[in-house]
Amino acid sequence: MVLCDNMQKSAQDYLKTIYSLSKNEEGIVNTTDISQKLDVTPASVTEMLKKLSEEGYIKYSPYHGSTLTEKGLKEAQKVTRKHRLLESFLSNVLRIGNDKVHQEACQMEHTLSDEAEESLCRLLNHPDTCPDDGKTIPACDLPFSNCEECVQLHKKGLEQVGKRDKNLVSIKDLKNGTYGKISFIRGEHKVLQRLLDMGLTPGTQIQVIKVAPLDGPVEISVRSSKLAIGQNIACNVFVEITN
């Protein structure tokens, strides 16, 4: 982000907050919700939203709300991914208490480099959800179709592989009626084989028919057939939205 360090941290906090709150059908987040979530005054929120809008990270309309642009979504997913990976590391590896994990991750997420993020993901064996609240860890932005490719290329010492152009969303987080193309599958070989047997492979077009509440299955359409998949699978299959 083209901002000074302190401003960058604050801006990333706002983008992460908008991302976490934008789960309604329109993806619109109002100023009051952001103010309450970050514990800052509405006036301060409005000032930052205007700056983020000028930078192209959000679309902001006074008295209506804010939505992330593609640019803003990319940044929000990046910092959210770092935060949730750090929570997994602090909780599962360092055994830090749950009452401290979130705040520690908030402090560290802004300084964790992309290289360290990638190494942390491999160390943790590509975790799929946050241990604190069970929310999906966003996909990395490396141009791989699965985690096995990442592991194998890393073993070969290949460090510069570029970045993925498109933002990806897990099937679990898609809204009813959304179309998408599978671009990335997270997990080890057994997971990949299981999804292959189900016809869920990179490049496959899918449509979400219904996301059941209370961690119920996600019903999707694949090659004119309906398929119900568990949330534990849905959170590991990422698509590029096509509608």
CATH number, residue 190: 2.30.30.90
Are 10 and 85 within one domain?
yes
- Flag whether 125 is in a domain: no
Are 106 and 175 within one domain?
no
Are 189 and 85 within one domain?
no
Are 15 and 100 within one domain?
yes
Domain that holds residue 177: 169-241
- Flag whether 38 is in a domain: yes
pTM: 0.89
CATH number, residue 48: 1.10.10.10
HEC string of the chain? CCCCHHHHHHHHHHHHHHHHHCCCCCCCECHHHHHHHHCCCHHHHHHHHHHHHHCCCEEEECCCEEEECHHHHHHHHHHHHHHHHHHHHHHHHCCCCHHHHHHHHHHHCCCCCHHHHHHHHHHCCCCCECCCCCCECCCCCCCCCEHHHHHHHHHCCCCCCCCCCCCCEEHHHCCCCCEEEEEEECCCHHHHHHHHHCCCCCCCEEEEEEECCCCCCEEEEECCEEEEECHHHHCCEEEEECC
Cα–Cα distance measured from residue 243 to residue 20, given in angstroms and rounded to the nearest whole number: 22
- Flag whether 216 is in a domain: yes
Are 8 and 107 within one domain?
yes
Q: Residue 96 to residues 88, 89, 226: CA-CA distances in angstroms?
A: 10, 9, 43
| Torsion sign, CA atoms 103, 105, 110, 111 | positive
Res 214: pLDDT:
77
Are 1 and 106 within one domain?
yes
Are 4 and 106 within one domain?
yes
Answer with the one of 97, 112, 127 that is the final residue of a domain: 112
- Picking from 78, 80, 77, 58, the residue whose alpha carbon sits closest to that of residue 69 is 58
Are 98 and 175 within one domain?
no
Res 2: pLDDT:
44
Give 119-122's long-range contacts (Cβ < 8 A, gap of 24+).
Answer: 120/85, 120/86, 120/89, 121/85, 122/150, 122/151, 122/154
The per-residue pLDDT for range 77-110, each reduced to its tens digit, is: 999 999 999 999 999 999 999 889 999 999 999 9
- Flag whether 31 is in a domain: yes
The per-residue pLDDT for range 69-78, each reduced to its tens digit, is: 999 999 999 9
The stretches in the chain having pLDDT less than 50 are 2-4
Number of domains comprising the chain: 2
Res 196: pLDDT:
83
- Flag whether 131 is in a domain: no
Are 102 and 8 within one domain?
yes
Pairing of strands 179-185, 58-61: unpaired
- Flag whether 211 is in a domain: yes
- Flag whether 122 is in a domain: no
Are 3 and 108 within one domain?
yes
- Flag whether 231 is in a domain: yes
- Picking from 198, 202, 238, 240, the residue whose alpha carbon sits closest to that of residue 221 is 198
Are 30 and 104 within one domain?
yes
